Amino acid sequence: MTKNFILGSALLLLIAGFGLNSSAQGSQGTAKETAEIATAANKFLATLDDAQRGRVIFDFKDESQRKRWSNLPTGIFKRAGLRVGDLTKPQREAVLALLAAALSPQGYEKILQIMEGDEMLKKNDSGGRVKFGHDEYYLSLVGQPSTSEPWMIQFGGHHLALNITLVGEQSTLTPSHTGAQPAIYELEGKIVRPLGRETDKAFALIGALDEGQRKQAVLGFQMHDLVLGPGRDGQMIQPEGIKGSDLTEKQRAMLLDLAGEWTGIMHEAIAKAKMEELKQHIVETWFAWSGPTEKGSAAYFRIQGPTVIIEYAPQRMGEDATKHLHTIYRDPTNDYGAKWRKQ
């Protein structure tokens, strides 16, 4: 039991409304939160021996490690860093504390739910080379934790890849992948939908468009997966769909609220700053849809603006596609904190 990364109790507390992320609540500014994140990272490092530290910390200039992430499970994709299942209980608790410091309560909850869903897959594991579950997530730090110098937190596994770049009071979550399989499950009597808010808000937005707007938004072809998923750094998509300038004020607000499901994964101050940035560019932001528009259907959508690309893609792999979801969140101007690293 001590080797398992038990998240169920923490997740149930969050579902019940008793958030564990006290450090991310009541934000008083990014300087304070940056210090809290660095402190949490250093507390985690203090739990490690020298060999573990050597495996978890990478040079910030290491381009290969910065881009070493995927949504694929262990056995298909090899990650570097420390495997959660190899850590002691205090070390695993320190990992959670670091994530809680870096993320919003809602973002932290989402990550726990994604990981708990992977534990559900483990129950049907055939024992082959592909591994699922809490233990199969990895943490690495690219650069030394700092309140002024650039560094990164990388945490991920199957259906999850968080790339958090911090430079002083600035930070970004792009590029990052969130997914869910199963997309809905039951945990001790509670229904859990890791990407439920994203799904519901997207169908509400497409449903709010009039016939003419919907003709613009809905693509004339079927999308089956992410275009700019893992391994697609630096690539671009031609904007498609309906432009923000052709939406009503209420519809623009709905589009921003939908995008907030990704920007809001980060702690409050950073999420707020990113949302203000998206508001400034809302008339230049596009919304594209592929597939049925009836709620509950398997449909792809994309949000694309000057500083954001979000994709949501149900996976059609011989099952109900609504039960297996992939999403990507990028900033074409600032993936991996590119703007700040040049200064």
Least confident of 20-24, 28-32, 144-148: 20-24
142 contacts 162 by C-beta, under 8 angstroms: no
pLDDT band at 124 (very low <50, low <70, confident <90, very high): confident
Q: What local confidence, expressed as pLDDT, does residue 341 receive?
A: 77
Residue type, 305: G
pLDDT band at 62 (very low <50, low <70, confident <90, very high): confident
For residue 45 the two structure tokens come to 């490092």
Q: What local confidence, expressed as pLDDT, does residue 317 receive?
A: 62
Q: C-alpha distances in angstroms, 310 versus 207, 250, 256, 267?
A: 19, 20, 12, 19
* Domain boundaries, given as residue ranges, for the chain: 8-191, 195-341
Average pLDDT estimate for 122-133: 83
Average pLDDT estimate for 180-191: 94
3-state secondary structure (DSSP) of residue 322: helix
pLDDT band at 28 (very low <50, low <70, confident <90, very high): very low
Least confident of 25-29, 92-96, 100-104, 167-171: 25-29
Phi, psi (degrees; rounded to nearest 5) at 141? -115, 125
Ramachandran assignment for 151, one of left (phi > 0), alpha (psi -120 to 50 degrees), beta (any other): beta
pLDDT band at 20 (very low <50, low <70, confident <90, very high): very low
pLDDT band at 31 (very low <50, low <70, confident <90, very high): confident
Q: What ranges make up the beta strands (E) of 23-97?
A: 57-58, 82-83
Residue 200 confidence (pLDDT) above 70:
yes
Q: Return the percentage of the chain with pLDDT > 90, whole number.
A: 82
Residue 17 confidence (pLDDT) above 80:
no
Q: What local confidence, expressed as pLDDT, does residue 2 receive?
A: 41
184 contacts 324 by C-beta, under 8 angstroms: no
Average pLDDT estimate for 141-148: 96
Q: What local confidence, expressed as pLDDT, does residue 342 receive?
A: 61
3-state secondary structure (DSSP) of residue 157: strand
Average pLDDT estimate for 189-193: 95
Q: What local confidence, expressed as pLDDT, does residue 32 receive?
A: 86
Q: What local confidence, expressed as pLDDT, does residue 51 receive?
A: 98
285 contacts 220 by C-beta, under 8 angstroms: no
pLDDT band at 1 (very low <50, low <70, confident <90, very high): very low
The DSSP secondary structure of 159-182, one letter per residue, reads TEEEEEEEETTEEE--SEEEEESS
Encode pLDDT of 302-313 as tens digits.
999 999 999 999
Q: What local confidence, expressed as pLDDT, does residue 177 receive?
A: 98
Q: At what angle do helices 105-122 and 89-102 cross, to 10 degrees?
A: 140
For residue 4 the two structure tokens come to 């398992």
Q: What local confidence, expressed as pLDDT, does residue 30 receive?
A: 75
Rounded to the nearest integer, the mean pLDDT of the chain is 90
3-state secondary structure (DSSP) of residue 47: coil
H-state helical runs in 264-327: 268-280
Q: Return the percentage of the chain with pLDDT > 70, whole number.
A: 90
Distance, in Å, from the CA atom of 161 to the CA atom of 158, rounded to the nearest integer, reads 8
State the Cα torsion 12-15-16-18 to the nearest 10°.
90
Q: What local confidence, expressed as pLDDT, does residue 302 receive?
A: 98
Average pLDDT estimate for 179-195: 95
Least confident of 9-13, 16-20, 195-199, 269-273: 16-20
Q: What local confidence, expressed as pLDDT, does residue 53 receive?
A: 97
3-state secondary structure (DSSP) of residue 37: helix
Q: What local confidence, expressed as pLDDT, does residue 321 receive?
A: 85
- CA 329 to chain centroid: 7
